[in-house]
Structure 1
Amino acid sequence: MEIYQLKTFVAVAEEAHLTRAAERLNTSQPAVSAHIKALEETLGTALFHRTPKGMVLTDEGKVLKASAEAILEATRAMELQAQKLRRELTGDLRIGLNSDPSGLKVAPFATWLKNRHPGVHLSYHQSISGKILLDLKAGVIDGGFYYGSCPHHEISGLFLKEIDLVIAGPAAWADRIKGVSWHAIASLPWVGFPPHCPYNEALTPLMQHGGIRPGTAMLSDNESTISTMVQSGIGLSIMLRDEALKAEESGTLAVWDGEDLTLPLSFGYAKKRKNEPVIQAALEGIAEVFRKSG
């Protein structure tokens, strides 16, 4: 029995799907299948029922999953103890980015980490807030930036600052946007957001105040895609204030001069990992570079 087999077992049990487990573990689906088969042969029992909809734990698998989790937790505890015994902090730090890297201070933090903890290998992964929170729960990444509130009790967040947002539309719509009410804005076509997108949270005060929700011409939860669609004339949307004002100055967007919107920006991590040295280093460095930037 190998530790990597137990990690694969737990990942498949949580994802209930071989392909999703492979993506989470950054390996191939045949490798995941081989790990499970080898573990089942070692233990002498079937761990999963293979169904058309995915992988379902057997009764034996449910019992053994708890044992596997306990072994993995003990292994991590031993690794942490070894880290504390070493003078130099080492390990991997995988951070999810939900927005433009410059706004998230990725270069200053990388410099800070290199100077303070050169033995830590840092990697950045571009994503979106909702996916980052799910990846933190699954252990795919170690930390990540997200907008808005966090619906997952397993995740803690270090508040960094309030992000200023605006509602912007195509430059050709300036006469339809400037000086009008929320009711008029909401009646126009929108590039909307899926339910999990935090931009919905930013709109809540306006919807409560005006009693109307915008209709959507299309959906997107990617900032660059939203910007492209708005500039192309698809509809209005929420955008980062600084970026939208720059685009307005260049003549590619028009910004609504109504109510300002905000969302909190936080750095998330799994609560159970708070005391790990690498997580502590990340929290210290992220807090310092944002504090220095004002």
Structure 2
Amino acid sequence: MEIHQLKTFVAVAREGSITRASKRRCLSQPAVSAHVKAIEDTLGITLFERTARGMTLTNDGQRILVKAERALDTHRDLTEEAARIKGRLTGKLRLGAEASSNSDAIGRLLRTLFERFPELEVTLRHGTSLDILNSIRNGDLDAGFYHETGEPDADLVTFEVSRFDIYVAARRGLFTTSQPPDWRTLGEMPWIISSASFCSGQVAEGLFRAHGFRPRRITHVDRESVTRTLLAAGLGIGLLHAETAHEAQRCSEVDLLCEAQKSVRVLFAHSANRMQSPALGVVNSILHAGMSGERSFSYVVRRHALTRDDILVTA
């Protein structure tokens, strides 16, 4: 039984589908099926019930899944321990980010990783905050940047990268801004918002509940640049992040009617059970250095036996 077969088994178990597991593992469907059959033949038990709706774990399969995930965690720890012994970072680091996350922090992080750790293969995938959190929890991502309006879950280790406010905006001159917004009137207007899986979409839904209305027409747009264009054209009411909102206001495109949400936090997060990862230790130190302006790497040096020269960052 090979490690790559165990990875395929876990992927099928999590996805519930040969097709989705093949995409996740970048394998052909016959290869995925062959991996599962090889494990079943080796263990002498049936892991899945194959139905028209997909692959469902048997009772035996559920017990094996727990052991398989532990084995993969142990394998990952082993390879990372070898990297610590060698004093360099190798392997893969999979990061996620919501499209409107702090691009300066992400760019600085990636540049530093590329320059200082050429043997570390880094990938960045964009998605909604919900997608990123789910991918961190199911192991598809090692860490990611997401937007948090409340308190992060206890199963995550987080670090605040930045904060931003969100404003309700409308075409310039559409409403009088000298008075508080008339929510009854705003409720009659079309609204342009992102889906509820994005931070702005969640804030919009909170506004609707707080003021007791539901717009008659909602257009879902998941790119803030498109929202800005539609608002400037007078096609509805919408939400903009502070930087975009103030720029659009300076360009006389929109008026800011009120603050919808104050201090949304952009957090870098990874699972609490990855605290021993040398790559994530380095990432945390780079982000801390970027925020504080201090070159303090005691966390990495102490926990991961990397030298100061290995991880020196030039801000």
TM-score interval, normalised by the smaller of the two chains: 0.7 to 0.9
Cα deviation for residue 216 of structure 1 reads: 4.1
| Alpha-carbon distance change, 217 to 101 in structure 1, aligned in 2, over 3 angstroms | closer
Matched, 1:38 2:38: yes
Gaps of 5+ in 1: none
Matched, 1:281 2:300: no
Partner SS for 1:157: strand
Partner of 1:236: 237
Cα deviation for residue 221 of structure 1 reads: 3.8
Alignment of structure 1 residues 196-275 onto 2, 5 Å: 196-203=197-204, 206-207=207-208, 210-231=211-232, 233-251=234-252, 253-259=253-259, 261-262=261-262, 263-275=264-276
Q: How far apart, CA to CA, are the structure 2 residues paired with 1:288 and 1:222?
A: 30
Q: How far apart, CA to CA, are the structure 1 residues paired with 2:291 and 2:26?
A: 31
Bigger mean CA deviation after superposition, 100-109 or 7-16: 100-109
Task: Check whether the contact 1:6–1:68 (CA below 8 A) recurs between aligned residues.
Answer: yes
Cα deviation for residue 102 of structure 1 reads: 6.4
Cα deviation for residue 97 of structure 1 reads: 1.9
| Alpha-carbon distance change, 126 to 239 in structure 1, aligned in 2, over 3 angstroms | same
Cα deviation for residue 40 of structure 1 reads: 1.9
Q: How far apart, CA to CA, are the structure 2 residues paired with 1:17 and 1:233?
A: 45
Task: Check whether the contact 1:128–1:222 (CA below 8 A) recurs between aligned residues.
Answer: no
Partner of 2:177: 178
Partner of 1:163: 164
Task: Check whether the contact 1:190–1:218 (CA below 8 A) recurs between aligned residues.
Answer: yes
Q: How far apart, CA to CA, are the structure 2 residues paired with 1:139 and 1:145?
A: 15
Q: How far apart, CA to CA, are the structure 1 residues paired with 2:212 and 2:277?
A: 46
Aligned CA RMSD, in angstroms, stands at: 2.8
Partner SS for 2:246: helix
Partner of 1:139: 139
Percent identity between the two aligned chains? 29
User: Letter of the aligned partner of 1:175 in structure 2?
Assistant: L
Number of residue-to-residue matches in the alignment:
290
| Alpha-carbon distance change, 219 to 177 in structure 1, aligned in 2, over 3 angstroms | farther
TM-score by structure 2 length?
0.80
Bigger mean CA deviation after superposition, 228-237 or 72-81: 228-237
Cα deviation for residue 213 of structure 1 reads: 4.7
| Alpha-carbon distance change, 205 to 194 in structure 1, aligned in 2, over 3 angstroms | closer
Task: Check whether the contact 1:49–1:55 (CA below 8 A) recurs between aligned residues.
Answer: yes
TM-score by structure 1 length?
0.85
Task: Check whether the contact 1:182–1:206 (CA below 8 A) recurs between aligned residues.
Answer: no
Alignment of structure 1 residues 48-197 onto 2, 5 Å: 48-100=48-100, 103-148=103-148, 149=150, 153-171=154-172, 174-176=173-175, 178-179=177-178, 181-183=181-183, 184-197=185-198
Task: Check whether the contact 1:48–1:57 (CA below 8 A) recurs between aligned residues.
Answer: yes
Task: Check whether the contact 1:97–1:124 (CA below 8 A) recurs between aligned residues.
Answer: yes
Measured against aligned partners, the alpha-carbon deviations of 1:154-174 in whole angstroms (never above 9, x if no partner) come to 333212222122222345xx3
| Alpha-carbon distance change, 229 to 27 in structure 1, aligned in 2, over 3 angstroms | farther
Q: How far apart, CA to CA, are the structure 2 residues paired with 1:225 and 1:37?
A: 48
